[in-house]
């Protein structure tokens, strides 16, 4: 049987990278996660900006983000969550397909809590060097991402 692909802006996302789907949204593992469990939730329809979503898509997307966040927080033994949207290129959006970043958070994961927002926006080169994020920001292989997605898919059975 042929693999199914999801649209993420210009990228084709293999179904193996997707661990949860709803009627109008899907959740995928990240090519370059900043923390364990850093995932993305997207509308299935390719829309660039938050304002482009219909009422139904907006509701479905945030209900999906709420559910995914809750399961991931427990799974990664975290105690908080960062939900982040970079809505447009000047806000740091690099993939022109609206998406919510979800990051399970733990005490001490970043020296200063809000550095996570600068880390999401990788244009902050100085901070990037300071945090030495480069070594953790290599593109992951499909196999590695598929393995994580397999693990996360079980949280929704």
Q: Is 99 in the active site?
A: yes
Task: Identify which of 14, 56, 47 has the alpha carbon closest to the alpha carbon of residue 150.
Answer: 14
66: exposed, middle or buried (Cβ count in 10 Å: 0-12, 13-18, 19+): middle
* Residue 154 engages ligand AMW in binding (rule: CB under 6 A): no
CB of 11 to ligand AMW, least distance (A): 4
d(CA 42, CA 86): 13
Task: Name residues contacting ligand AMW, limited to 80-109 (CB under 6 A).
Answer: 86, 92-95
Is the distance from CB of 149 to CB of 18 less than 8 angstroms? yes
Closer CB to ligand AMW, 13 or 152, in the complex: 13
Closer CB to ligand AMW, 77 or 94, in the complex: 94
* Residue 131 engages ligand AMW in binding (rule: CB under 6 A): no
| Catalytic residue selected from 14, 38, 97, 99 | 99
* Residue 11 engages ligand AMW in binding (rule: CB under 6 A): yes
Residues with Cβ within 8 Å of 57's Cβ and at least 6 positions away in sequence, in order, are: 24, 25, 43, 45, 47
d(CA 15, CA 28): 9
CB of 108 to ligand AMW, least distance (A): 22
- Which residues participate in catalysis according to the annotation? 99
Residues in contact with ligand AMW by CB under 6 A are 8, 11, 13, 28, 30-32, 40, 86, 92-95
């Amino acid at each position: 049987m042929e693999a199914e692909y999801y649209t993420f802006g210009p990228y084709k996302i293999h179904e193996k990278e997707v661990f949860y789907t709803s009627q109008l949204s899907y959740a995928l593992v990240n090519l370059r996660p900043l923390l364990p469990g850093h995932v993305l939730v997207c509308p299935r329809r390719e829309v660039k900006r938050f304002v482009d979503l219909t009422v139904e898509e907006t509701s479905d997307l945030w209900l999906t983000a709420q559910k995914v966040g809750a399961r991931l927080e427990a799974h990664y033994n975290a105690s908080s969550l960062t939900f982040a949207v970079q809505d447009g290129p000047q806000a740091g959006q690099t993939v022109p397909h609206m998406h919510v970043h979800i990051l399970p958070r733990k005490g001490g994961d970043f020296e200063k809590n809000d550095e996570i927002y600068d880390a999401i926006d990788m244009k902050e080169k100085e901070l990037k060097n300071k945090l030495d994020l480069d070594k953790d920001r290599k593109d992951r292989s499909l196999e590695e991402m598929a393995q994580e997605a397999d693990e996360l898919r079980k949280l929704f059975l």
